[in-house]
Amino acid sequence: MTQKVVVVGAGPVGSLAALYAAVRGFEVQVYELRADLRDPDTIPLNFSKSINLALSERGIHSLRQTGLSNLADAVLAETFPMHGRMIHVRKNGEYVRQPQIYDARGRSLLAMDRTGLNKALLDQLEAMPNVKLMFNHKLVGADFRKKIAWFEHRPKSAEEQGDEFEITFDLMIGADGAHSAVRYHLMKFVPMYFKQEYIDKLWCQFHVPPAPDGEFRIPSHYLHIWPQDESMFIALPNLDKTFTATLFLTRKGFEELDESGKVVEYFDKKFPGVVPDLITEDDLRKQYASNQHLPLISIKCTPYHYGNSGVIVGDAAHAMVPFYGQGMNAGLEDVRVLFDLIDKHPNDRSKALSEYTKERTPDAHTINDLALGNYREMASDVKKPLYLLRKWIEEQLYIYIPSAGWATQYSRVTFSNVRYSEVQRLAHHQAKILNRVVGLGFVSALVSALWFVRSGRAQRAKMRILLLISVVAQKLQSLMKN
Amino acid sequence: MTQKVVVVGAGPVGSLAALYAAVRGFEVQVYELRADLRDPDTIPLNFSKSINLALSERGIHSLRQTGLSNLADAVLAETFPMHGRMIHVRKNGEYVRQPQIYDARGRSLLAMDRTGLNKALLDQLEAMPNVKLMFNHKLVGADFRKKIAWFEHRPKSAEEQGDEFEITFDLMIGADGAHSAVRYHLMKFVPMYFKQEYIDKLWCQFHVPPAPDGEFRIPSHYLHIWPQDESMFIALPNLDKTFTATLFLTRKGFEELDESGKVVEYFDKKFPGVVPDLITEDDLRKQYASNQHLPLISIKCTPYHYGNSGVIVGDAAHAMVPFYGQGMNAGLEDVRVLFDLIDKHPNDRSKALSEYTKERTPDAHTINDLALGNYREMASDVKKPLYLLRKWIEEQLYIYIPSAGWATQYSRVTFSNVRYSEVQRLAHHQAKILNRVVGLGFVSALVSALWFVRSGRAQRAKMRILLLISVVAQKLQSLMKN
């Protein structure tokens, strides 16, 4: 008998999970709380509730692994490559832009519109005979032992009561986001470690129109960053020559801006080259007032499954802050890993799901932590000379010793499919080696200096040199550890 | 206009919150998911889902502060005092029982049946003209901005769809337990830090009948403990001369017992004096098989409120493991603190609720941590001589220097209404003083010993004494730190 897979959530991750299930011949039903975003009446989710995306290797690989040859290409056709960051800062009062290339071997991040990706996946799904798509359906209950769930069809406003009905399933996949209802019901069946926290940064999105000549207003192939430590402004290019920009700022910072109304002054001071080159004063004020100021949540939990009947993927399992650009990619990768394990254990779904939890928990927790830590890199480190020095050293190793498999953590996260937990292990390993190398240099410097001192002349000056060498070596070591 | 207070959850904490609201003249509605436990057809919650209680000062004080003079007395009449712990262990192969008094000034913990407390509160509520009690009602949604909520009336089985209806409220108090629906909906309106974890101990309850002569089978005025480090068996007395006993054991331990079926052998080995004195072999096997093996959850979150319209109390805000006997007491204290603040800010509910969050968060987090730490005290430390020494020293200080306000952490948690966070601060402060005192003793011992050594005779032996003094002093210091 054909197994029935119910997917809750028709965002990119849920849609991909449904596709993976469909190509395997399962009977697939997809339930989505919101309206169909392909419907012209639907307000695009993209501009009100999600930062636009940077698709990278893990996401692309997961799209390719569906086996649907045209899917990945159709999606890639809608992306816009970003070769590096462009840092916008004032140095000695001068406004400067510093490009920083992402990958010494030329690989790029791909900027893309969340809605575009979602539409492509939904169109594919719609074309499959064994898939049923249901929008405006809310999960109101699930019994993972009896494999029964209850949905409510909400055709009109969110507050009206709709029809409730019961369905059965063999496997329910929860891809219903950070505030997952599937996870909420799953928790009643399995003792789950769960932690959510909101970081002290809110975000507000801005639309940057094309220039009067119809072109991009600033160099297009970059992820633009205005790093200001406690705040940050970024801009990602879109295919239509616009940018989608985001302001990140502490809650208190937003409150102060709300009170003073001095948004333009704030941008003038902090983010050189934005007003009026990217956005006019009026438009900035208007968008700041009308676009929501939204919180950023970080979620860790485990296990991700119950028995052989329920599993969560994507933000439902590990919503993360957006600073490593991996949230969506990790979600798409979840789907690939999940179905690899389902294929590996065709007659033991319990085993497949428990292996999924076992493999995916350390990986998701790792990228979650890296994402939290990466705010500092984006908003502060990128403008510091020592950061640039370290980046340069690592790039040289990467380029000149490729045989050693040397690679930065960033590059492994972004341009490979190596498990996140393994990436971190490798990064620690490399840091150790670098430390030893630097340490060795330090020891020989120390020995020669001591010898020099013993030889008797001008001891004080020599001791100062010694001290300096030691300080520099230590600084390098602490840099390498990161 | 009379304000409408909706309480979700009619357990002891919810019922007390409703009473506090009712005596203040609010219009009160109480919605409870389960059936009325006073109904003879209702299966008592107590014996399937909750460890019985140890009522202590905070709980009693909160009952008294309702202003209903007969309430606390009616409740207290149903309690059974426990003057101390009775430790059951084998020493050199001999089965021994060691009583350990709780309080040098003679105060007791009060064992009580959760259902009894709940019934007393519900009876009081029912007698109030401005209270409406509604059982079998499930909260399905809440909008804390518009102050509207949706409930479903579930008259029959949990799976059937009942009638859904809408109500309005001025203030919703969520007292609906660890898996709180109010908290779930509150989270959609306020960015909430939330963490839940299950500790690696499950529990299984056992009923110990009276002896054939109708009396208690073991000394009645004690909380009996069989401490076995990774497992623990406890028994609390009931008014009807029975004991309610609980086995705590790791998940793996339970699985091994399930597999081997050697429950009686396990009890024989670990818990001397239980089989067959308290419970027969057959009965133990039967109860082990039929009574559920349940997990223990620990929850921390903050904030506890949204605006002026929603707040959570009790387990919904801070479910804790049962090892400090404070879960219920902390919940009842929540209610007292909440209404103290509501009284303090009669015209500013937002302020009252935000002060509640501000005051209660550190207190709840503290008792939560103490409860987690207390498993070790109950299951291991109580049988160690050093623990007994420390207890003895502290009791002497407590008895002989009452003017200094010296008290143990346990006694302040259990027999006072001092804020939990303040209790911890005081405990750290006392530990510092004790350390100094012990340190001072150590220094003088050291000085005299050194003088002795300098005087020249038998240096080696003297050095050994010195070492011994130092070891003992350090041991004492580390004990005092706890």
Output the domain CATH number for residue B41. 3.50.50.60
Instruction: Give tens-digit pLDDT for A147-170.
Output: 999 999 986 655 566 788 999 999
d(CA B356, CA A327): 35
Q: Nearest-CA distance from B63 to chain A in Å?
A: 32
Say yes or no to pLDDT of B245 above 70: yes
In a mutational test of the B interface, the residue from A182, A198, A293 whose CB has the highest number of chain B CBs within 10 Å is A198
Tell whether A2 is within 8 A of chain B (Cβ). Answer: no
Q: Strand A243-249 and strand A231-237: pairing?
A: antiparallel
Going by pLDDT thresholds of 50, 70 and 90, the confidence category of residue B105 is confident
Closest CA to A420 of A339, A344, A305, A324: A324
User: Is cis: bond before B155, omega within 30 of 0?
Assistant: no
Give mean pLDDT, residues B160-186: 92
The answer to whether residue A451 neighbours chain B at the CB level (below 8 Å) is no
Shortest distance between the Cα of B247 and any Cα of chain A, in A, equals 19
Contact A184 B184 (CB under 8 A): yes
Q: State the residue range of the domain holding B419.
A: 412-481
Q: Indicate whether A482 pLDDT > 50.
A: no
| Percent above pLDDT 70 for chain B | 86
Q: Does B252 touch chain A (CB under 8 A)?
A: no
Say yes or no: A190 and A202 in one domain. Answer: no
Cβ–Cβ contact A297 with B under 8 A: yes
For residue B187, the SS3 value is: coil
Q: Report yes or no on A318 lying in a domain.
A: yes
Contact between residue B145 and residue B189 where contact means Cβ atoms under 8 Å apart: yes
Residues in B touching A164 (Cβ below 8 Å): 161
Residue of chain B with shortest Cα separation from A188: B179
The residue written with tokens 């339970």 in the block is B254
* Residue to substitute from B194, B199, B252, B254, interface A, most A β-carbons within 10 A: B194
Looking at the domain assignment, is residue A147 inside a domain?
A: yes
Q: Are residues A135 and A256 in the same domain?
A: no
CB within 8 Å of chain A, chain B residues 36-55: none
Whether A87 is covered by a domain: the verdict is no
**Nearest residue of B to residue A142, measured between CA atoms:** B159
In sign, the C-alpha dihedral spanning A137, A139, A145, A146 is negative
Supply B47's token pair: 């014996």
The length of chain B is 482
Q: What is the pTM of this model?
A: 0.83
Q: Least CB-CB distance to B196: which of A159, A161, A194? A: A194
Amino acid of residue A38: R
Q: Which of A58-67, A437-446, B39-48 has the lowest mean pLDDT?
A: B39-48
Last residue of a domain, one of B294, B325, B357: B294
Question: Best mutation site among A189, A192, A196 for testing chain B: the one with the most B CBs within 10 Å?
Answer: A196
Q: How many domains does chain B have?
A: 3
Please judge whether A198 and B191 are an interchain contact, meaning their C-beta atoms are less than 8 angstroms apart.
yes
pLDDT of residue B386: 79
Q: Are residues B321 and B255 in the same domain?
A: no
Instruction: Work out the burial of residue A40: count CB atoms within 10 Å of its CB; fewer than 13 is exposed, 13-18 middle, 19 or more buried.
Output: exposed
- Is the bond preceding B209 in cis, omega lying within 30 degrees of 0? no
**Domain match, B263 and B344 both:** no
Residue A168 sits at the chain B interface (C-beta within 8 Å): no
Shortest CA gap A10–chain B (Å): 20
Query: How do beta strands B27-31 and B131-134 pair?
Result: parallel
- The pLDDT score that the predictor gives to residue A387 is 81
Binary contact (A195, B196; C-beta < 8 A): yes
Distance from CA of A231 to the nearest CA of B (A): 20
pLDDT digits (tens, 9 = 90+) for A342-383: 999 999 999 999 999 999 999 999 999 999 999 998 888 888
Q: Does A195 touch chain B (CB under 8 A)?
A: yes
Q: Which residues on chain A are in Cβ contact (under 8 Å) with B150?
A: 161
Q: Considering CB atoms only, which of B164, B193, B198 is closest to A197?
A: B193
Q: Are residues B174 and B274 in the same domain?
A: no
Based on the domain organization, do A65 and A210 belong to the same domain?
no
Q: Using 50, 70 and 90 to split pLDDT, how confident is the model at B392?
A: confident
Closest CA–CA distance from residue A196 to any residue of chain B (Å): 5
Inter-chain residue contact B197 with A198, CB threshold 8 Å: no
Nearest-by-Cβ selection for B197 from A159, A164, A193: A193
CB atoms within 10 A of CB B73: 11
B309 and B246 together in one domain: no
CB pairs under 8 A between A and B: 43
User: Cα(B372)–Cα(B320) distance, rounded to whole angstroms?
Assistant: 8
pLDDT of B478 reads: 60
Which of A233, A268, A294 is at the close of a domain? A294
Tokens of B406: 């010296």
Q: Chain B residues with CB inside 8 Å of A150's CB?
A: 161
Note whether B191 contacts A: Cβ–Cβ < 8 A.
yes
Give yes or no for a contact between A52 and A112, defined as CB atoms under 8 angstroms apart. Answer: yes
Which amino acid is residue B31, in one-letter code?
Answer: Y
Pair (B180, B206) in one structural domain: no
Q: What is the pLDDT of residues A171-223, one digit of tens each?
A: 999 999 999 999 999 999 999 999 999 999 999 999 999 999 999 999 999 99
Q: Across all residues in chain A, what is the average pLDDT?
A: 89
How close, in Å, is residue A194 to chain B by CA atoms? 5
Tokens read off for A174: 């929860």
Is residue A419 in some structural domain? yes
DSSP letter string, A121-151 = HHHHHHT-TTEEEE-SEEEEEEETTTTEEEE
Q: Which of B164, B184, B198 sits opposite A193 (nearest CB)?
A: B198
Cα end-to-end span (Å), chain A: 53
pLDDT at A50 over 60: no
The CA distance from B202 to the nearest CA of chain A, in Å, is: 11
Query: Is A226 in the same domain as A120?
Result: no
Mean pLDDT of chain B: 89
B391 inside domain: no
Beta-carbon neighbour count of residue A153 at 10 Å? 14
Domain termination residue (choose one: A294, A321, A339)? A294
Is 80 exceeded by the pLDDT of residue B396? no
- Across the interface, whether the CB atoms of A150 and B161 are under 8 A apart is answered yes
pLDDT tens string A379-417: 888 888 878 877 777 777 777 776 667 788 898 999 999
B191 and A161: CB-CB below 8 Å?
Answer: no
Residue A435 scores a pLDDT above 90: no
Segments of A74-124 assigned E as strands: 80-82, 84-91, 94-101, 109-112
Question: Tokens for B214?
Answer: 């109708």
Q: Which of B150, B161, B192, B372 to mutate to test the interface with A (most CBs of A within 10 A)?
A: B161
pLDDT at B443 over 80: no
Contact of B35 with chain A, judged by CB distance below 8 Å, is answered with no
**Predicted pLDDT at B170:** 98
pLDDT cut 90: percent of chain A above it: 71
Task: Measure A419 CA to nearest chain B CA, in Å.
Answer: 26
- Same domain, yes or no: B313 and B446: no
Q: Which of B164, B179, B198 sits opposite A161 (nearest CB)?
A: B164
B210 belongs to a structural domain: yes
Report the gap between the CA of A177 and the closest CA in chain B (Å). 13
Taking the CA of residue B24 and the nearest CA in chain A, the distance in Å comes to: 32
**B453 close contact with A: CB closer than 8 A:** no
ipTM (interface pTM): 0.77
Same domain, A160 and A48: yes
CB contact under 8 A, A148 and B140: no
Please report which confidence band the pLDDT of residue B43 belongs to, taking 50, 70 and 90 as the band edges: low
All residues of chain A having their beta carbon less than 8 Å from the beta carbon of residue B148 are 159
DSSP A322: G
Strands A94-101 and A109-112, bridge-based pairing: unpaired
Cβ–Cβ contact B134 with A under 8 A: no
For residue A148, tell me if it sits in a domain.
Answer: yes
Q: Does A145 touch chain B (CB under 8 A)?
A: no
What is the spatial distance between Cα A251 and Cα B165, in angstroms, rounded to a whole number?
37
Judge whether B328 and B13 are in contact, CB under 8 Å.
Answer: yes
Q: Which phi and psi angles does B330 have, rounded to 5°? A: -65, -40
Q: What is the distance between the alpha carbons of residues A338 and B369, in angstroms, rounded to a whole number? A: 36
- A49 pLDDT tier (thresholds 50, 70, 90): very low
Pairing of strands A137-143, A148-153: antiparallel
**Closest chain A residue by Cα to residue B195:** A195
Q: Residue A352, class by beta-carbon neighbours within 10 Å (0-12 exposed, 13-18 middle, 19+ buried)?
A: buried
Considering the domain boundaries, does residue A139 fall inside one? yes
**Residue B303 per-residue DSSP state:** -
Residue of A nearest to B251 (CA): A191
pLDDT of residue A103: 85
The reply to whether residue A198 touches residue B193, judged by beta carbons under 8 angstroms, is yes
If asked whether residues A286 and A346 sit together in one domain, one would say: no
Contacts of B297 in chain A (CB under 8 A): 191
Q: Give B143→chain A minimum CA distance, Å.
A: 9
